[in-house]
Amino acid sequence: MRSSATSYPEGSAAFPHRGLVGIAGLAPHEIMFLLDEAEQWVDLNRHAQKHRDLLSGLTIINAFFENSTRTLLSFEIAGKRLGADVVNMHAATSSVKKGETLLDTAATLNAMHADAIVIRHASSGAVQLIGDKVDCPVLNAGDGQHEHPTQALLDALTIRHAKRAFNGLRVVICGDILHSRVARSNILSLSSLGADIRVCAPPALMPVGIEAMNVAPFHNFDAAIAGADVVMMLRLQNERMQGDFIPSPREYRHLYGLTLDRLSLASPDALVMHPGPMNRGIEIDSNVADMVERSLITLQVEMGVAIRMACLDVLTRRARGVEGWA
């Protein structure tokens, strides 16, 4: 399934948003538009010569106030492949550690005339706050427990490469749903694309009222995984927990870990996903994570670069005066 199932309007009407703070507020055709835009970059990235001058002269700042490996690297590679000047700001060595407020940091970034700012922050809502204060587009690379829109887009692109259609696709998302911005953004995007979503977590890690997000909640993983087409596993977000949410990692693996035995309860061609970083032997066993024919985990990383190239291109079109976008 490479081409869009939905049609979208021409020019900026296809994606009329100034930035990308979340999947909430995006129409299904806007999500499909970004996925379709990413396909050209999937192709380019598979060639030896991967450089384009599309964003030449533009400055992109990656302001990461929280740790990251793949998201930061993939935004950096995406910006550089499109020819932009990319600068990474690491909070650990910045003035944030000297007590500067978020709004002062925003004003500083703005004064440097960035053309796009990519932000990761531990507080839900921080990206919107900065977005309201700066003149350029902001892209959310994960804000607290709120959203991680490019992760959901790369997950949708991965699913689209591996499966035929989103409509009626049975997806189970299992793990620390409560603290997961990945779960939240994926629920919003996959349900708006027509997937049938089950979420599974221990009672303490299931958000109250999650049914309102159009998902079926489960506490029993064996029941939740039955017949699933896609099994998406999540890490326990220990850094967002105060106190103990699970009895022990061993007990957690026993009840909620993706083992080979458990995967056999899913549909025979079920595919396995994980946003990373994985805690092998806790939420997922190595012999499942490394199954070449079933695991999409490295494909997810590959799709991440293409999706971020698409987002950076689309969101800077207005500033670049691209026809139909100015």
Catalytic residues: 70-71, 98, 120, 148
In whole angstroms, give the CA distance from residue 127 to residue 21.
7
Rounded distance between C-alpha atoms, residue 64 and residue 69, angstroms: 11
The distance from CA 216 to its chain's CA centroid, rounded to whole angstroms, is 21
What is the smallest separation between the CB atom of 117 and ligand NCD, expressed in angstroms?
A: 17
Q: Under a CB-based contact definition with an 8 Å cutoff, are residues 193 and 31 in contact?
A: yes
Asked if 294 touches ligand NCD (CB under 6 A), the answer is no
In the bound complex, what is the minimum distance in angstroms from residue 150's beta carbon to ligand NCD? 8
Window 234-253: residues binding ligand NCD (CB under 6 A): 235, 237
Q: Which residue, 130 or 182, has its beta carbon nearer to ligand NCD?
A: 182
Judged by CB under 6 A, the residue of 50, 70, 80, 90 near ligand NCD is 70
Q: What is the CA radius of gyration of the chain?
A: 19
Asked if 141 contacts 120 with a C-beta cutoff of 8 angstroms, the reply is: yes
Among 62, 71, 158, 186, binds ligand NCD (CB under 6 A): 71
CA torsion 309-173-23-29 (nearest 10°) is 80
Please work out the total of residues on this chain that contact ligand NCD, with binding judged by CB under 6 A: 11
142 near ligand NCD, rule: CB under 6 A: yes
* Least CB distance to ligand NCD at residue 10 (A): 33
Distance CA 196, CA 93 (A): 43
149 binds ligand NCD (CB under 6 A): no
> Which of 83, 276 has the CB closer to ligand NCD?
276
Q: List the structure tokens of 322.
A: 């691209």
User: Is residue 182 near ligand NCD by the rule CB under 6 A?
Assistant: yes
Strand partners, 147: 143
- Residue 177 beta carbon to ligand NCD: minimum distance, rounded to whole angstroms: 12
- Binding to ligand NCD by CB under 6 A, coded x per residue (else -) over 162-181, reads -------------------x
**Which position has the token pair 């492949």?**
81
Q: Do residues 22 and 146 touch, judged by C-beta distance below 8 A? A: yes
Residues lying near ligand NCD in the complex (CB under 6 A) are found at 70-71, 142, 148, 151, 181-182, 235, 237, 275-276
